[in-house]
Amino acid sequence: MKKRNNQKKVYLIIGAAIILIILLLVLNQTPVRDFTFEEGYNEIVQLDEKYETSFKTESIPDELINYKNVDPFVEDLTALREEVALSANKNPTEEKEALLLLIDARTLMILSEKSYTNGKSIGPMGIADDEEGFSCREAGYLINGAYYFNKSYGAGVEAYLALDKLLGHNQQTPGVWDLVGVNDEKPRFFYSKLGAIKITVARNLIALEEFCLIDMSQGLISPVDPENYILIDNV
């Protein structure tokens, strides 16, 4: 009899513990926000205002985000995306999918502009087709210029495609066309000079391979230390 009572107490304790754990899990759950496209769009606009820019007017090279604001802006967009993705997993809608596309496009725009600024910051030494020409003693700078401009081009094309998909696949999704803009109201990033950036990369690679005789077959993997190339002087 005593043994049965002890077993009963054990079961009661285990049951109470399970109930307590379930209650704690329920109480600690963060409520999942719901989103319409317009609500998410307005949050992106608020972030634009916070960082003194606008996705409507940014374009390469004419209007770029302030470089110092890039990383914190991307962090904020990442946090917003995670929240929208969580909401979409719980209750998927076309508006949330469209909003995720917009957040991705906005992030890629900023990253493209960041890499472009990095490339331009190198100065004339990072561009083989500038008016001053180039020297193979500056090959390291040409490599870095090609690297950053290539990153800018890649992210820029992805941003363009994401925006194009957003508008092309969401004609009937509430708010998308009116808020993002179509035709003459399209974001100016659509008119970024990405082709010119690609040409700059190609000319840098030609200069490096054909004139400086540097093997670039492995591609533009990472920036280099220009000092490692300073002794090269074929031109």
User: pLDDT tens across 60-98, in order?
Assistant: 999 999 999 999 999 999 999 999 999 999 999 999 999
Q: How confident is the model at residue 33 (pLDDT cuts 50, 70, 90)?
A: confident
Look at residue 222 and tell me whether its pLDDT is greater than 60.
Answer: yes
Q: How confident is the model at residue 171 (pLDDT cuts 50, 70, 90)?
A: very high
Q: How far apart are CA 89 and CA 71, in angstroms?
A: 27
Higher-pLDDT residue of 64 and 132 is: 64
Return the percentage of the chain with pLDDT > 90, whole number.
78
Q: Which of 46, 31, 28, 44 is CA-nearest to residue 106?
A: 44
Look at residue 148 and tell me whether its pLDDT is greater than 70.
Answer: yes
Look at residue 20 and tell me whether its pLDDT is greater than 70.
Answer: no
Which residues have C-beta within 8 Å of that of residue 60, sequence separation ≥ 6? 112, 113, 116, 152, 156, 189, 192, 193, 194, 197
Summarize the confidence of residues 164-182 as an average pLDDT.
96
pLDDT of residue 27: 42
Look at residue 26 and tell me whether its pLDDT is greater than 50.
Answer: no
pLDDT of residue 134: 87
Summarize the confidence of residues 89-115 as an average pLDDT.
97
